[in-house]
Amino acid sequence: MTAFPPETTAPRPEYPRPDRDRSERWLNLNGRWDFAADGFEGPITVPFAWESGASGVGRTWLERGVYRRTVTAPAEWAGARVVLSFGAVHHHAAIRIDGEPVGEHSGGYESFEFDVTDLLVPGASAELEVEVSAPADKRAIPHGKQRSIPRDDYDGVSFTPTSGIWQTVWLEARGRTYARSVVLRGDSLTGIDVTVVLEGDAPAGAPVRAAVESGPAIDLTAAADGIAKGRIEIPDAVLWTPERPHLYRVEVTTGSGDGADRVRATTGLRRFESRGEELYLNEERVYLRGVLDQGYWPDTGLTAPDAAALLRDLELARSLGYNLVRKHLKFEEPLWLHEADRTGMLVWAEPACPSRFSPEAAAAFEAQLPAMVERDGNHPSIVIWGLYNEEWGLDWDIPGSPARAEAAVHAFERLRELDATRPIVENSGWSHVRTDLVDWHYYEPDLGRWKDAVARMAAGEQDAFAVRLGPDFTVDKSFYGSADVPRRGLPIVNSEYGEGFTSLERAWHLRWETQELRRHDRFAGYVYTEFADVEHEAAGLLDASRRRKDWGGCVPADVNADTVLVLDLVPAAAGADIAVPEAPFALDAHVSHHGPNAVSGTVNAAWVPAGTPFGTAVPASEAASEPVKAEPFRLSPAVTVTVPPAAGPARLLVWFADAEGWVLARAYLDAAEIEPPNRRGARPGEFEGAPVPGLA
């Protein structure tokens, strides 16, 4: 039996719950375990899935595996209660200590724990065994983007599974009566509502003290059900915002003396809500500039290789200009969520979906929700809860199936019962039946059609669009799957878009598609697809190793800034937005500004050699508009810049500067020969008509 190596040699050695901190008395169980499965027996490295090279196993489609290792709780934990915790295990785990059953858990993305005080004596070694079942046929269980056999309907956007133990395993020492759950909510903006659920020797009637670090405290007594509730009023409260992400640390103490239990939980005071078709954070309007992040890693699957890489993803998303990350079909690690809290990144969080509908699959999907809210609900960064994605697990058929529509409604109502402090999206993408936001996924490679469709959707003239669900399967999907969803009065967010096969094409589409979303003040935000490549899916702004791609001069941070330019033209092609102008031409431009105060200035333009990026020095303006003023969240009137001709292929830099010369927004146009696509030898009629939008 493998002995546990020193903590310093274990992978992922950091304490996994900084948001609910018990790191004074814990033991990391990551590292080398014994592992046995069909056709394999040998060591495995936890917490990496058995499909991954990092695990040392590298086997796909194992459906059962047994982990074993020796574990010894520190002798100084004598008298404490000992809790065994798992960050996540896919999919079903049965745990035994020295052959005695500890418990079982189903749900591949949830964190869970067992009180093992009666089975693990501090100072004495014991054998810990974790038997995991991970069915190859995942269609009836929540599995998100993990590939299934038989295949999912959306197999083209699925990836290598992440099976077995894939997040940290650890032991904690707690008081004889301890806080199993600490729920903190700061949406009042004046105080923290506290709910503590106790377990252990004597939960009923136990004294509980909740104290804000260097601040006020309250004393509570647990009711007969072991639950204590109260409210900590905070004088001179500091609100949590992306610009000032202030966190409050609350120490919850149960009991007194040497046997007392202590846990330090964090939250922030913030309120995120919709008012009509607009979104507000702490009474101030906010526009979501988001990116979809699937949280996959080369060679380690859903598990980040180390904490630094995991946390750097947030820094990278911010450097690309985004203020929100939609963490797609995955409960991300609390470590990442705590960093989002600490650094001020907004988060759209959502569970994994099954892929085929049945009452059992719908029940399994809903079974995740209490664990999601209990573990992650304290995070002020999470401002939206998602549920189903694109009717996955509902057979793409909410409109045609009352049972499937009811499953979406029931999931919405269940999540609302668990947490009423955040907007909820019941079915991201289309066919909404009960939702706080109307979001839509639309992929269109033709920018003229994109521009027209986005305008018609903003005007309420169109709410349906073509979606390619398979090579030979295209359907029309609508914003709405029920007459009960109001056609006006809910925020509208495009939560997936992006096109192009090459990195240059994708950056080109990012520029022009995003500006059309910014053109229409009715929209409350967008989420670009996507942050980083995953396996065969090369739609990321970054590659799978988080390295930047060739964006052809595009600067995503300019595209996603508070203030951007919206140009009145439909570009021809990547690298050739317009033909080389032989005479002066009029360029009409608007300013879209999402800051708190109005901005004024002029739109300027200058020719530079082809491919020249914006530098730190602003070029001399060759043309300028009349002054223009942009009010917050209102597209400015068009102003005209009369641009001189170019001598040959060149890049036109366009920028919006205030009276002091500060550049507030930047864009550009590439002028080059526009050639028709080469289709020599094509079959007759093969390239007639428009391309069909794709699924992501």
User: Strand runs (DSSP E) across 268-313, as ranges?
Assistant: 272-275, 278-281, 284-286, 288-293
**pLDDT for the residue numbered 58:** 97
pLDDT given for residue 692 in this prediction: 39
DSSP state of 108: T
pLDDT score, position 690:
43
Per the listing, tokens 């960064």 go with 381
Residues 248-292: tens digit of each pLDDT: 999 999 998 888 999 999 999 999 999 999 999 999 999 999 999
pLDDT in tens, 515-574: 999 999 999 999 999 999 999 999 999 999 999 999 999 999 999 999 999 999 999 999
Tell me the two tokens of residue 498: 């992006």
For the domain spanning 273-560, the CATH number is 3.20.20.80
- Which of 82-86, 457-461, 673-677 has the least mean pLDDT? 673-677
Structural domain spans, the chain: 7-174, 188-269, 273-560, 577-671
Mean pLDDT score across all residues of the chain: 95
**First-to-final CA distance of the chain:** 45
State the sign of the Cα–Cα–Cα–Cα dihedral 447, 452, 454, 455: positive
Mean pLDDT to the nearest integer, 6-29: 90
Q: Which two tokens stand for residue 367?
A: 């079974």
Torsion of CA 508, 514, 519, 520, to 10 degrees: 150
CA gyration radius for the chain? 27
What string of DSSP letters covers 461-511? Answer: S--EEEEEEETTEEEEEESBS-TTS-SSSS-EEEEE----SSHHHHHHHHH
**What is the pLDDT at residue 51?**
98
Nearest CA to 399 out of 459, 463, 328, 444 is that of 463
Residue 691: predicted pLDDT? 43
Structure tokens at 208: 């509980």
CA distance 412 to 682: 49
Residue whose pair of structure tokens reads 């906010």 in the numeric block? 286
Q: How far apart are CA 19 and CA 373, in angstroms?
A: 14
Beta strand spans in 584-626 (E): 585-593, 599-609, 623-624
Separation between Cα atoms, residue 11 and residue 87, nearest integer Å: 14
657 contacts 664 by C-beta, under 8 angstroms:
yes
The CATH class given to the 188-269 domain equals: mainly beta
CB atoms within 10 A of CB 426: 28
Give me 268's structure tokens: 């922030």
| In this structure, CATH architecture of domain 577-671 | Sandwich (2.60)
pLDDT band with cut points at 50, 70 and 90 for residue 201? very high
CB neighbours (10 Å) of residue 420?
10
Which of the four pLDDT bands, split at 50, 70 and 90, describes residue 682?
Answer: confident
Sequence-separated (6 or more) residues with CB below 8 Å from residue 424: 384, 385, 386, 387, 412, 415, 416, 435, 436
Residue 686 reports pLDDT greater than 70: no
Same fold, 273-560 and 577-671: no
CA atoms within 13 A on the CB side of 320: 32
Residues, the chain, total?
Answer: 696
Helices then strands (H, E): number in the chain? Answer: 8, 41
Residue 168 tokens, joined: 């940290």
Is pLDDT of 693 > 70? no
Q: Are strands 227-233 and 248-254 parallel, antiparallel or unpaired?
A: unpaired
Is beta strand 207-212 parallel, antiparallel or unpaired with respect to 191-200?
A: unpaired
Checking if the pLDDT of 685 tops 90, the result is no
Question: Number of C-alpha atoms within 13 angstroms, CB side, residue 493?
Answer: 31
d(CA 350, CA 578): 41
Pairing between β-strand 288-293 and β-strand 523-528 as defined by DSSP bridges: parallel
**Residue 61, number of CB atoms within 10 A of its CB:** 12
Confidence of residue 615 (pLDDT cuts 50, 70, 90): confident
**Of 574, 564, 442, 549, residue with least CA distance to 498:** 442
List of residues 6+ apart from 96 with CB closer than 8 A: 102, 128, 129, 131
323 neighbors 290 (Cβ within 8 angstroms): yes
Amino acid identity for residue 402 in this structure: P
Pairing of strands 261-267, 20-21: antiparallel
pLDDT at 676: 87
Longest dimension (CA), the chain: 87
440-to-330, 399, 480, 577 alpha-carbon distances in Å:
20, 15, 10, 27
Helix spans in 139-244 (H)? none
At residue 374's C-alpha, the angle toward residues 368 and 380, to 5°, is 115
Distance between CA 70 and CA 688 in Å, rounded?
66
pLDDT tens, position by position, 124-162: 999 999 999 999 999 999 999 999 999 999 999 999 999
Mean pLDDT value of segment 230-258 = 96
Q: Count CA within 13 A, CB hemisphere, residue 100.
A: 9
* CB neighbour class for 125 (10 Å; exposed up to 12, middle 13-18, buried from 19): middle
Alpha-carbon gap, residue 422 to 288, rounded angstroms? 15
Domain boundaries 7-174, corresponding CATH code: 2.60.120.260
Tokens of 642: 């009369």
Tokens representing 497 are: 């878009």
Do 434 and 483 form a contact (C-beta atoms < 8 A)?
Answer: no
Q: How far apart are CA 493 and CA 348, in angstroms?
A: 12
The answer to whether the beta carbons of residues 263 and 257 sit under 8 Å apart is no
pLDDT reported for residue 582: 96
Whether pLDDT at 4 is above 50: no
What are the tens digits of pLDDT across the range 374-412?
999 999 999 999 999 999 999 999 999 999 999 999 999
pLDDT cut 90: percent of the chain above it: 93
> What local confidence, expressed as pLDDT, does residue 8 receive?
52
With beta carbons less than 8 A apart as the criterion, state whether 499 and 538 touch.
Answer: no
Considering only 99-113, 353-367, 464-478, which range has the smallest mean pLDDT?
Answer: 464-478
Helix 334-343 to helix 369-376 angle (10° resolution) is: 50
650 bridge partner residues: 609, 671
Residue 7 has pLDDT above 60, yes or no: no
